[in-house]
Amino acid sequence: MRFLKYGIAVAALAAASLSLNAAAASDDPVADRKAVMQSVGAAAGLGGGMLKGQIEYTPAAGKAAISTMNAAAHTFGGLFPDGSDMADNSTAAPAIWDDRAGFDAELAKFAAATGAAAKASGKEGPADLDAFKAVFGPVLGTCKSCHEGFRVK
């Protein structure tokens, strides 16, 4: 997967964003939040692939990765209603419901990083790989600390 060619990555991202839209319309919060995180994973794959030089960087692709992340950061927090913690197919940890403030703090860090990246990316997307790295690196840096406390396999 990390050796994705640009075209496949963008297609994956488009599919993931489609499911993001479909998700917003359904009434299954577990399916919705998993779809949102899958789009985050696809955007990380595209951005990470460009950072590693496996996919050629273009400002448009940089912008696509950033805006997917930013959309996710703004919708994800609403998908954890009471009672959606017991689902078998979910890897959301009980801590989300026991320590909502802690979870919200992780969400806020995620949204701060994606918001800053979206702002820096402007109309055309970050001009070159260095500009992209400066704003996308911090977004990738927020995944781990949320998964550490709020996800269980």
Partner 1 sequence: MKRVLLGLVSLAAIAAVVAWVLSAPQTLSETALANLQPGDAVRGEQVFWAGGCASCHAAPGAKGEDKLRLVGGVKLESPFGDFIAPNISMSAPDGLANWSLEQFANAMLKGTSPDGQNYFPAFPYTSYTRMELQDVADLFAFMKTLPAVDGKAPDHEVGFPFNIRRAVGLWKVLFLKEGPVIAEPLTSETDLAVWQRGRYLVEGAGHCGECHTPRNPVGGLELASWLSAAKAPVGNGTIPDITASEKGIGSWSVEDIAYYLESGFTPDYDSVGGEMVSVQENMAKLPASDREAIAVYLKNIPHK
Residue list 118-147, contact with partner 1 (CB under 8 A): 140, 143-145, 147
Per-residue DSSP letter, 151: B
Residues in a beta bridge with 96: none
How many chain residues touch partner 1 (CB under 8 A)?
19
Residue list 36-55, contact with ligand HEC (CB under 6 A): 37-38, 40-41, 44
The two three-digit tokens of residue 29, written as one number: 């919060």
The two three-digit tokens of residue 26, written as one number: 């359904």
Rule CB under 8 A: say whether 98 interacts with partner 1: no
Which of 16, 55, 65, 92 lies at the binding interface for ligand HEC (CB under 6 A)? Answer: 92
**Is the Cβ of residue 2 or residue 123 nearer to partner 1 in the bound state?**
2
- The entry of partner 1, ligand HEC, none near residue 42 (CB within 5 to 8 angstroms by kind) is partner 1
Contact 139, 113 (CB under 8 A): yes
Minimum Å gap between C-beta 128 and ligand HEC is 21
Cα–Cα distance measured from residue 116 to residue 86, given in angstroms and rounded to the nearest whole number: 34
Q: What sign has the CA pseudo-torsion 54, 59, 60, 63?
A: positive
